[in-house]
Amino acid sequence: MFVTDIRKEFYDKVVHERVLVLVAFDVDALCACKILQYLFQCDHVQYTIVPITGRQELENAFLEHSEQVKYVVMINCGGNINILETLQPAEHVIFFIADSHRPVDLVNVYNDDQVKLLMPTTDDFDIPAYDDLFKDDESDDDSGNESDSSAPSGKRRRLDEEVLERRRERRLWEEKRKQILLDYEEFSTYGTSSAMIMFDLAWKMSKDSNDLLWWGIVGLTDQYINNRVERGKYMTDVGDLHKHTLRLNHRNEDDDNTVSVDCMRIYFDEELKLALYRHWSLFESLKHSSYPACKFKMWTVKGQQKMHEFLADMGLPLVQVKQKFTSMDMGLKESFKGLFTASCEKYGLDDISFGSFIAQYGYKNKLCAADVVYAVNGLMECVEAEKSATGYFLEALDCLSRQNVKKLLRGLDLAKRQLTTIMQTVHSFIDMKQIISAGPFLYAYIPEGHPDVKFFSRPNCLGMLAYFMQEAYVATSRSRRSTLLPMVVAAPLNAETGSALVIGIPPKAEESTKNFFGRAFEQAAIQTNSRTLHDNFDTSIIEMKSEDRSKFFDALISLLS
């Protein structure tokens, strides 16, 4: 069931108990977890945090850690699967689920005792009515009873008619139910960021601070960067957070009232779609950010020229542009943003900026929310063998704390490597024309021997690659239709077991985040008997045996044509 008063129905319930917190592998979940940790620490709520990569691990973790645990909080996992059926929990266990994955499983929605959904009621759920989904099971029984009973025949005939009528009704109802379910589960999409929900909780408890707000902001920005939120919804959410920002950073800035530099300040600003430029050089950032790179078609000689022309038009010397942003001339650094946006308009990059936030603390640390998202994600999906995946998850969790700036800086470097790899892969795929229009969708396959293949064995990085590729393809393609095509990208996951990771993303022209690949993948797998694993909480990301790839995609094409 949906929780209406998150404080009363969730927080006050768990405040003196031990809580098991299961956290999925995405930046939003990490931020939400951070906020919740802070709240729990204030109130001495004992908790256990376990990182969760997928459904299987969810089951394992629950089995292992559930002893004597009565309350389980799930962050960005568990919402879209039938929790009670999957985990078979004891009756006293209560689940609190803050999950941005949609659609929410209907059993979770209608279970009043054990499953509590921490999702804002303002979200658009389109939950079908209870009566359309569930019927009390009496009618099932009487068909059985009837046949056994030895009632007189006349009565029986009348009863038979009744039964027939009832059966017909039931069949109709079942068909309708099926249709409703089909419609409800057709698309997978995303709802409000979990970090924002947790921040909301903190605010309602008057425990909000700039740190918590920042995590909320980073959570939302994660959704924006990874295309998990529609533009309109993003604007509304940013508006909400902006109000909080103003409230928490409201100070009379006169001489007597200055804040120490070590305090964190957050302010709203228009941010450029230039990834990490504050920590890179402008030149590199332009090259590696999908929006400007695709606008200029950076992979062509002409595109390169055009970019140089663009820089010249801005009046920035190449030497300045190519050196670290922090070392650029003071004057240029200050006026750069104005110049940049002006030139962007001229060159048709109208969409270069978006509303976002910047945090500043100390003399050195000025971070914009998007950069933090890239850095945290870079750290979380680090492919170095030094630590396990969960180890990097914890590193990523650490780097969100202000005192661990060093880890965040490492994350920035890792993010740069990720972006560089993505950019190079996109360029080579465009050059070699390896992005194929398979008819109903675009398709790209990263071959086994590709040098950077390990980067794309992580879902978020593969997702970024898919979106970049799609944008690049659309930019080069002459056909109008290409904007209407969704895209599927597959990359090898594990050479030993011969498995591949497959992701599907909606068409470029599509405004919403609705993604129909979850169901399509499922169907195609069933039709072809492909060995697939739908382990990710995102249904549009699956694992499969590489050998089954071709038959799977044939089926997918025929399914979607």
Looking at this protein, which amino acid is placed at residue 198?
A: M
> How far, in whole angstroms, is CA 297 from its chain's centroid?
27
What 8-state DSSP symbol labels residue 190? E
Our CB check for other proteins shows the closer of 51 and 128 to be 51
Residue closer to other proteins, measured from CB, 49 or 264: 49
| Structure letter (DSSP) for residue 281 | B
Region of 60-68, 99-107, 180-188, 333-341 interacting with other proteins (CB under 8 A): 60-68
Residue closer to other proteins, measured from CB, 50 or 205: 50
Contact with other proteins (CB under 8 A) among 62, 336, 393, 455: 393
Choose among 335, 338, 416: nearest CA to 375: 416
Strands (E), 315-453: 353-361, 365-368, 436-437, 442-445
User: Does 156 interact with other proteins (rule: CB under 8 A)?
Assistant: no
Indicate whether 456 belongs to the interface with other proteins (CB under 8 A).
no
Query: Which residue in 12, 15, 16, 18 binds other proteins (CB under 8 A)?
Result: 18
Residue 92 is a binding residue for other proteins (CB under 8 A): no
Going by C-beta distance under 8 Å and a sequence separation of 6 or more, which residues neighbour residue 130?
110
What is the distance between the alpha carbons of residues 327 and 331, in angstroms, rounded to a whole number?
A: 11
Q: Does 150 sit near other proteins (CB under 8 A)?
A: no
Q: Using CB under 8 A, which of the segments 38-46, 164-172, 250-258, 498-506 binds other proteins?
A: 38-46
Q: Interface with other proteins includes 41 (CB under 8 A)?
A: yes
3-state secondary structure of 541: strand
Q: Is 403 in the site for other proteins (CB under 8 A)?
A: yes
Q: What does the DSSP assignment read for 420-465?
A: HHHHHHHHHHHHTT--EE-SSSEEEE--TT-TTGGGGGSHHHHHHH
Sole binder of other proteins in the list 6, 29, 32, 49 (CB under 8 A): 49
Q: How far is CA 309 from CA 195, 313, 472, 553, in A?
A: 41, 6, 20, 42
Instruction: Candidates 7, 65, 170, 265: give the one binding other proteins (CB under 8 A).
Output: 65
Show contacts with other proteins in window 362-391 (CB under 8 A): 388, 390-391
CA separation for the pair 518, 504 (Å, rounded) = 8
Nearer to other proteins, 64 or 160 (CB): 64
User: Could you say which of 163, 180, 394, 557 contacts other proteins (CB under 8 A)?
Assistant: 394
- β-partners of residue 491 are 501
Tell me the H-state helices in 43-134.
55-65, 83-87, 106-110, 130-133
Residue 71 or 280 having the CB closest to other proteins: 71
The DSSP H or E segment spanning 202 is helix 194-204
Give the per-residue contact string, 110-139, with other proteins (x = CB under 8 A; - = no): ------------------------------
List 24, 26, 51, 506, residue binding other proteins (CB under 8 A)? 51
- Closest separation in Å from C-beta 244 to other proteins: 26
User: CA 175 to CA 180: how far, in whole Å?
Assistant: 9
The answer to whether 416 and 408 are in contact (CB under 8 A) is: no
Q: Applying CB under 8 A, which of residues 8, 12, 15, 64 lies at the interface with other proteins?
A: 64
Q: Which is nearer to other proteins, 315 or 362 (CB)?
A: 362
Cβ 39 to other proteins shortest distance, Å: 11
β-sheet bridge partners, residue 360: 265, 366
Regarding 56 and contact with other proteins (CB under 8 A), the answer is no
Among the residue ranges 1-9, 42-50, 243-251, 334-342, the one whose residues contact other proteins (CB under 8 A): 42-50
> Does 48 participate in binding other proteins (rule CB under 8 A)?
yes
How many chain residues are in contact with other proteins, going by CB under 8 A? 24
CA separation for the pair 186, 177 (Å, rounded): 14
Indicate which single residue of 59, 398, 413, 510 sits in contact with other proteins (rule: CB under 8 A): 398
Site for other proteins in 246-285 (CB under 8 A): none
CB of 389 to other proteins, least distance (A): 9
Distance CA 283, CA 13 (A): 52
Of the pair 388, 428, the CB lying nearest other proteins is at 388
Tokens of 330: 């003071």
Nearer to other proteins, 18 or 167 (CB): 18
Instruction: Please give the structure tokens belonging to residue 23.
Output: 């956290």
State the distance between the two ends of the chain, measured CA to CA, in whole angstroms.
38
Binding window for other proteins (CB under 8 A); candidates: 150-158, 309-317, 323-331, 394-402: 394-402
Q: What is residue 363's three-state secondary structure?
A: coil
For the bound state, the minimum distance from the C-beta of residue 47 to other proteins, rounded and expressed in Å, comes to 5
Place of tokens 């795929």: 429
388 or 497, CB closer to other proteins?
388
45 binds other proteins (CB under 8 A): yes
* Type of residue at 50: V
Is the Cβ–Cβ distance between 40 and 33 less than 8 Å? no
Q: Which residues bind other proteins (CB under 8 A)?
A: 18, 37, 40-41, 44-51, 64-65, 67-68, 388, 390-391, 393-394, 397-398, 403
